[in-house]
């Protein structure tokens, strides 16, 4: 069986009774007491090593999926940020992260507030546009001599414009 060394930081926090080495020694003592033959011991150790590898592999696969998800989230956030910046006609943005460095979590922590700010700007601009459209409808209705009402102004305006 390969000898895997537990990093010092982790080893210090793990109780000796739960370490792999301690458990392996305890298993050997049990086998000695029971009288387990050497071939069976080696087979059981190989099975145990395979089970450990399977557990590690599942964890590595799971973490790879998480990393890929974070990378995609970061790429999507950067793309949306750039799209908003361009579509709003912004040349620069004070909170814009220039060069993304650090871990994926750190990069997401940098881009997320900037992206939220750009999304707020977009929403403000949309609200301003709606206000201008409402004003245009009201002015058009006044020019046409149409009565003002909530939703019927645009309907009346459209009807009067298309019936000409």
pLDDT tens digits for 24-79? 999 999 999 999 999 999 999 999 999 999 999 999 999 999 999 999 999 999 99
**pLDDT band at residue 162, thresholds of 50, 70 and 90?**
very low
Distance CA 85, CA 121 (A): 10
**pLDDT band at residue 158, thresholds of 50, 70 and 90?**
very low
Q: Is the pTM of this model over 0.75?
A: no
pLDDT tens digits for 89-110? 887 766 566 667 889 999 999 9
């Amino acid at each position: 069986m390969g000898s895997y060394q537990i990093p010092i930081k982790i080893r210090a926090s793990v109780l000796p009774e739960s370490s792999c080495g301690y458990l392996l020694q305890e298993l050997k003592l049990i086998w000695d007491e029971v009288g387990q033959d050497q071939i069976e011991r080696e087979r059981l150790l190989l099975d145990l090593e395979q089970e450990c590898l399977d557990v590690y592999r599942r964890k590595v696969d799971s973490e790879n999926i998480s990393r890929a998800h974070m990378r995609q989230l970061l790429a999507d956030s950067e793309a949306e940020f750039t799209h908003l910046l361009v579509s709003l006609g912004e040349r620069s943005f004070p909170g814009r992260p220039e060069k993304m460095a650090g871990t994926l979590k750190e990069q997401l922590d940098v881009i997320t507030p900037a992206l939220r700010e750009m999304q707020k700007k977009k929403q403000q601009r949309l609200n301003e546009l709606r206000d201008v459209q409402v004003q245009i409808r009201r002015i058009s209705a006044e020019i046409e001599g149409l009565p003002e009402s909530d939703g019927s102004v645009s309907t009346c305006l459209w009807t009067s414009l298309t019936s000409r």
